[in-house]
Amino acid sequence: MSAGLGRVGAGPGRVGAAAVVLVATTAEVLAHPELGEGLLAPWERRRLAGIRVPGRRDDVLAARLLLRLCASRVTGLPPRDVEPAQRCPGCGRDGHGRPYLPGRPGLGVSFSHADGLAAAAVGPGPVGIDVEPLTRRPGPVSVLRRLLPQDEVDAACTEPDPGPALLRLWVRREALFKAGRGDVRLTAWTDRDRAAVVALAGADGAAGALLPSLSLRQAPPSGR
């Protein structure tokens, strides 16, 4: 996979000591030699068959495959042996809701997809990730004020171009929501090669550096 499909933390197999975070375009994921639709479980393929927009279908497929690659690097299992599941915390039913790895309660997992982009994360404790295109503009502001801290929205709106600031607030909020906790470490960065904004919540076992697969790169900014 191309350089920039990053990995945070130590090598695969050190469960509880490292997290793996990957961000890619959908095309990069679908071209990866280890990944393919045949890795999906039957229930995932049934859900995929119900998506009528080809681009969205590819994004969903890419995110689910990328999650398997993250889990493979953390656990040391080949991607074909990684079987993520989902369970809804509201209704308690399987097949939708928050993803998890059966038999590995200490690992948190999360994935995201949007308009030709995919992101996934696996690491110790609660984990949440969100990715959005740089050009996306959440809104309207009246709705954002109900969903996000009002003072932060107001501060973003004072900038000459509030769109990017509001987008950063949005991905941070989504990552925290997916992690299911508001008191975890929050990291956000811009992947300019993929024109994406990414936020990661949790993954406290991750090291500070972002190490792409084929070349070193500057670590993303971190902090709440």
Distance, CA of 91 to CA of 166 (rounded, Å): 32
Q: What is the pLDDT of residue 77?
A: 94
CA distances from 92 to 45, 48, 97, 125 (A): 21, 22, 9, 20
User: Tokens 């500057």 map to which residue?
Assistant: 218
pTM above threshold 0.85: no
What's the angle, vertex CA 95, arms to CA 120 and CA 63, rounded to 5? 20
CA distances from 179 to 39, 57, 150, 157, 176 (A): 25, 24, 22, 27, 5
Q: What is the pLDDT of residue 215?
A: 23
Q: What is the pLDDT of residue 43?
A: 92
Please name which of 217, 209, 223 lies closest in space to residue 10, comparing C-alpha atoms: 209
What's the angle, vertex CA 179, arms to CA 203 and CA 104, rounded to 5? 65
Q: What is the pLDDT of residue 95?
A: 64
**Number of other CB atoms surrounding residue 141 within 10 Å:** 14
Q: What is the pLDDT of residue 177?
A: 93
User: Tokens 């995919």 map to which residue?
Assistant: 118
Q: How high is the mean pLDDT in each 10-residue block of the chain (224 residues)?
A: 36 50 94 94 93 96 96 93 84 74 93 96 94 88 83 85 89 93 89 93 55 32 42
Distance, CA of 81 to CA of 132 (rounded, Å): 29
**Can you list the positions of beta strands (E) in 26-179?**
85-87, 98-100, 107-114, 117-124, 127-133
Q: What is the pLDDT of residue 92?
A: 64
Q: What is the pLDDT of residue 200?
A: 95
Query: How far apart are the two ends of the chain, measured CA to CA in Å?
Result: 30
Q: What is the pLDDT of residue 220?
A: 46
Q: What is the pLDDT of residue 27?
A: 95
Q: Determine the residue type at 49.
A: A
